[in-house]
Amino acid sequence: MFKSSNTPSNYLNSQSKDKYLMLRYIVRQVENGTGLTLTELKKQYSEERLFAIALKHVTTTKKALCTALNIPIEAGCRYKRTLEKDGNLVQSIDKVICPLTKRRAYLISTNPREFGRLLKSKKRINEINSKPELTNSAPLVFPLPDPYNVYGFPPHLIIAELKRVGFTGTLHNEVEL
């Protein structure tokens, strides 16, 4: 006989239970960070503002956040782009395994304390460390196309962030740090 209960333990397999728990974790992090329940947050803020507030309290993939907050993915894409253009959201350089889809995706955050970590490329650091001819005196060259980089940030914001995290070297457009 088929059970029609909405509780996860009745109809979800173990992988789905993991996804459910992960989504509940994201919601709890947002609720604990704001001191409000998700229902209260949805009443008080627009979807776009809720998206930004949630990313201050949890760093995750866009799909996981949108699913946890019940925001349409298409709307999440628009909100992400708006926040990126304003310089309020950073996307990771490296892809990670999305906890929801199990596919490679970028982490996103609006928490300025996370920006430095997300902008550091583990792959690039490993490449630099594996080249013995590079020393501390050799300038590192990172591409910085004009007028905006691939993440939509103005160069002055990127330069300020690189200085903040202690980067030294030369950028592609000859900006010395």
Amino acid letter, residue 83? L
Let me know whether 107 and 92 are in one domain: yes
Q: What's the pLDDT score for residue 153? A: 56
Q: Could you tell me the two tokens for 46? A: 């627009």
Let me know whether 52 and 112 are in one domain: yes
Let me know whether 104 and 30 are in one domain: yes
Let me know whether 112 and 131 are in one domain: no
Q: What's the pLDDT score for residue 164? A: 74
Let me know whether 47 and 68 are in one domain: yes
Let me know whether 90 and 24 are in one domain: yes
The dihedral formed by the CA atoms of 18, 110, 119 and 59, expressed in degrees to the nearest 10? -10
Burial track 17-39 (b if 16+ CB lie within 10 A, e otherwise): eebeebbeebbebbbeebebebe
Q: What's the pLDDT score for residue 80? A: 96
């959201």: which residue's tokens?
89
Which structural domain range is residue 88 located in?
Answer: 1-119
Let me know whether 160 and 77 are in one domain: no
CATH number of the domain where residue 91 is located: 1.10.10
Q: Per-residue pLDDT for the chain (177 aa), expressed as one digit of tens each?
A: 444 443 444 444 566 888 888 899 999 999 999 999 999 999 999 999 999 999 999 999 999 999 999 999 999 999 999 999 999 999 999 999 998 888 999 999 999 999 888 988 776 555 544 554 444 444 444 444 444 444 455 666 667 777 777 766 655 555 554
DSSP codes, 71-90? --HHHHHHHHHHHHHTT--E
Q: What's the pLDDT score for residue 4? A: 40
Let me know whether 113 and 125 are in one domain: no
Let me know whether 107 and 140 are in one domain: no
Q: What's the pLDDT score for residue 127? A: 52
Q: Could you tell me the two tokens for 66? A: 């949108």
Task: State the total domains in the chain.
Answer: 2
Q: What's the pLDDT score for residue 41? A: 96
